Amino acid sequence: MTTHHLDTKLLHIGSAPFDPETGTAPVNLPSMRTSTVRFENLAALERVFAKRAAGERAISYGRSGMDTHRALEEVFMQLEGGTYCVLAPSGMAAINIAFLGILKTGDHVLVCDGVYGPVRNLDRALLKGLGISVTYFAAQDDLDALITPETKMIYVESPGSLLFEMLDLPAMAAVAKRHGVLLATDNTWGSGYIYRPLALGADISVVAGTKYVAGHSDVMLGAVVAKDESVAARLHSAQYAMGNSISADDAWLALRGVKTMAVRMPQHAINALKVCAFFDAQPYVAKIFNPAWHKDAGYALWQRDCTGANGMLSVELKCSPDAAKAYVDALTLFGIGFSWGGYESLVQWVDPGTLAAHTYWKHSPNALLRFHIGLEDIDDLIDDLKQAANYLPRT
């Protein structure tokens, strides 16, 4: 199995084992819902705890998950190219595990300014009170100069949220290594399928499985994947202490969703590039943000480090954020909403206040809209974008 391609592995992880008596099996593992585990006798219980003492994953209680969860952990490990995986009930919970597993009072963390917005809330709501200090940096800043003796982690997201700024992960990993600091990345954009930070030198990869892994807008899910045993032990310990667990049904839905990732992801990318080409020809568009678009500032890094793209893009319109509201409301096939990675198209009107924190944004007074391009017929999507443009101010 190890020699097979990722697409093949993703289809075969979580195949149900044969019943030893009948020699038959369903195709998929069932969703193993349980609150606790029954042991045949005390000797069986002791065997489980001996395994755990030896550092092996052995099932002893519902919270740590059953076979359905183990299969999903395997999915994330294969996607990200890691050897350890901790599941979490949301992407945000996975981010928490990375921060609280690695950092303690007195520590300092460098966070890239293009990170997912709620990370700043984690900083305000929890990290400050715990005495963990955060410095936000821009991609072009000299990281060496920002690292202090207290710095324990560099936390980045590439491509970044909202503007998809590509970061030079191998260069950042080299700085991190030089200083003995861990590099953690939010890889929700790549989801291990089109971008693999661990192979580029990162130590920890966090994924919101809510997005492309589950892929059907029906599950909240997160995962933290690591390569190193001692790092993984800290992540497991944080997860265990915080009592994170995910429902077997959600694990099962994600296992089902990931089976079609190999066909969904490229189709999202094809559709998104067609939308980029359409926007590129419109007089009301000032700029397109998508690292796989050949005019994007991150295109060279994307070509070097990514193996594909997805359905995400943003556009800066030549009008005020307020003027763009009528355009958003006029769209009929794009749901107005946060999140992404499901099969459907979405649009998000980006609050100019949240953009102020991104140095990649040139503090333009223009509107920014973020799109997730779904799997609808691309001609229908473009027709919808065309008709909504009638609601924009004349340019």
Ligand X SMILES: *Cc1c(COP(=O)(O)O)cnc(C)c1O
Q: Does 188 bind ligand X (CB under 6 A)?
A: yes
Strands 204-208, 222-226: parallel, antiparallel or unpaired by DSSP? antiparallel
> 211 to 230, contacts with ligand X by CB under 6 A?
211, 220, 222
For residues 239 and 327, which CB has a smaller minimum distance to ligand X in the complex? 239
Residues 145-184, interacting with ligand X (CB under 6 A): 157, 161
186 is a catalytic site residue: yes
Q: Which of 186, 203, 250, 305 is catalytic?
A: 186
**189: Cβ contacts below 8 Å, ≥ 6 apart:** 157, 158, 159, 164, 195, 310, 312
Is residue 195 within the footprint of ligand X (CB under 6 A)? Answer: no
User: Strand 346-349's sheet: what is its strand order?
Assistant: 285-289, 312-317, 367-372, 346-349, 335-336
Active site residue 178: no
Size of the site for ligand X (CB under 6 A): 14
Instruction: Let me know if 211 is a catalytic residue.
Output: yes
Of all residues in the shown chain, the one whose CB is closest to ligand X is: 91
Options 186, 203, 296, 316; binder of ligand X; rule CB under 6 A: 186
- Quote the CA–CA distance of 241 and 263 in Å, as a whole number: 38
User: What is the DSSP code (8-state) at residue 36?
Assistant: B
Query: Residue 62, Cβ neighbours under 10 Å: how many?
Result: 16
Catalytic residue among 7, 61, 63, 322: 63
- Residues 41-100 within binding reach of ligand X (CB under 6 A): 90-92
Contact by Cβ (8 Å): 313, 288: yes
Using CB under 6 A, which residues numbered 332 to 351 contact ligand X?
339
CB of 213 to ligand X, least distance (A): 10
Structural tokens at position 309: 């793209």
Does position 116 bind ligand X by CB under 6 A? yes
Place of tokens 């997805």: 310
Min separation Cβ 295 and ligand X, Å: 23
Torsion sign over Cα 92, 15, 67, 37 = positive
Which residues of this protein are in contact with ligand X, per CB under 6 A? 90-92, 116, 157, 161, 186, 188, 208, 210-211, 220, 222, 339
Active site residues: 63, 116, 186, 211
